[in-house]
Homo-oligomer: A and B are copies of this chain.
Amino acid sequence: MPKNPAQCQFVVALDSIVGKWKPMILYHLLQGQPLRFNELRRLLPDITQRMLTLHLRELEEEEIVKRVVYPQIPPKVEYSITEYGKSLSPILEALHQWGLAHVQRKQLHKGNNEQTETD
């Protein structure tokens, strides 16, 4: 981490990851399999087409995700993680690990407080 605040670039990385659905989209794509639009929709039960499209476009823009259109009827579009996109994997992994520990920690505190807190 640089001593000079101006050179901090976590925000850049966060911009690529953040968004209500981006982490989950990336998660599924990082499994390796290319996925069609509607396959992704099924995997993200609560996402709307709109949001899926928008987030995929952003990820595509940053070359984290590759979009392949098969010119046929009915249309077929496949999304896959790029080699570059795979470089995000360790970060997601680290985030996941920390998140896991964090929820467990919260659970513990909750348990402890339920005895002392009479409010």
Contacts and interface: CB of A to CB of B under 8 A. Distances in A.
A24 B8 contact: yes
Interface size grouping (class) on chain A? 35 or more
A73 interface: no
A92 interface: yes
B88 A16 contact: no
- Looking at chain A's contact residues, the main secondary structure is helix
A93 interface: yes
A69 interface: no
Nearest to A17: B14
Nearest to A106: B62
Contact of A27 (B1, B62, B94, B101): B1
